[in-house]
Amino acid sequence: MSVLTALLSFALVAGLMALVPGVDTALILRTAVARSRTEAFLAAAGICTGVLVWGIIAAAGASAILAASQLAYQLLTYAGAGYLIFLGAQMIYRSLRRGSTDTVVLDVPGKKSRVFGMGLLTNLLNPKIGVFYLAVIPQFTPPEANALFMGAGLAAVHVLLTLVWASVLIWGASLASRWLRSSKAVSIMDRITGTVLIGFGLRLALTRP
């Protein structure tokens, strides 16, 4: 198997992963509707940076420690679950406090850079991504290839496909945003997104390695 064949084969796996709705999808859609297209792309960039970091860490062998150490895995899992539950609860709380004005005050706290940080932390605090790369890197690394560079290459493919799908989501949400930016619509979206985040957080906390 050549490096090119390995990358193309992995692209199928990564593409399917990108299409599966999850926390990343919820955050991107919510940001695109409630804030702006630019900030939605920042959130997607943060998510992709987290994917890239995990790919490199896995290729370097650090995630092997997570796979071998139940304590390390559980600690990172609980941190990630807590972060998702916090984000979800915050969205629900803000939606309940929001007034009934016609125009929404775009209320993700802090500067635009924090939107990037939110996407980044969402993935960095999810050890399943590291374990995923630990599992797939040996399968998609030709014998003659450098494992570290190959891991980075696989992560780059994953990032590219994630960005393509995020762009589709963002542009689609942006086209509908003029109808979805009313206070009531964003409050409903916040409650749905918040519930999704809490659900994923609880599932992550209850998952055994």
| Closest C-alpha to 133, from 73, 209, 59, 66 | 59
Calpha distance 168→190 (Å, rounded)? 21
User: Which are the contacts of 47, defined by CB distance < 8 A and separation ≥ 6?
Assistant: 24, 27, 28, 119, 120, 122, 123, 162, 166
Calpha distance 18→204 (Å, rounded)? 18
106 is a domain residue = yes
Output b/e per residue, 102-132; b: 16+ Cβ within 10 A: eebeeebeeeeebbbbbbbbbbbbbbbbbbb
Calpha distance 97→91 (Å, rounded)? 10
Share of residues in the chain with pLDDT > 70 (%): 78
Q: Per residue in 84-111, pLDDT tens?
A: 788 778 878 877 775 544 333 334 444 6
Model pTM greater than 0.85? no
86 is a domain residue = yes
99 is a domain residue = yes
Tally the domains of the chain.
1
Q: Per residue in 47-69, pLDDT tens?
A: 999 989 888 888 777 666 666 77
Q: Which amino acid is at 128?
A: K
56 is a domain residue = yes
51 is a domain residue = yes
15 is a domain residue = no
Calpha distance 104→186 (Å, rounded)? 7
Contact assessment for residue 130 and residue 54, using Cβ atoms and an 8 Å cutoff: yes
Kindly state the average pLDDT of the residues 150-159. 88
Calpha distance 23→17 (Å, rounded)? 12
Give the domain range for residue 48.
3-10+21-206
* 117 vs 130, more confident: 117
Calpha distance 201→79 (Å, rounded)? 10
40 is a domain residue = yes
91 is a domain residue = yes
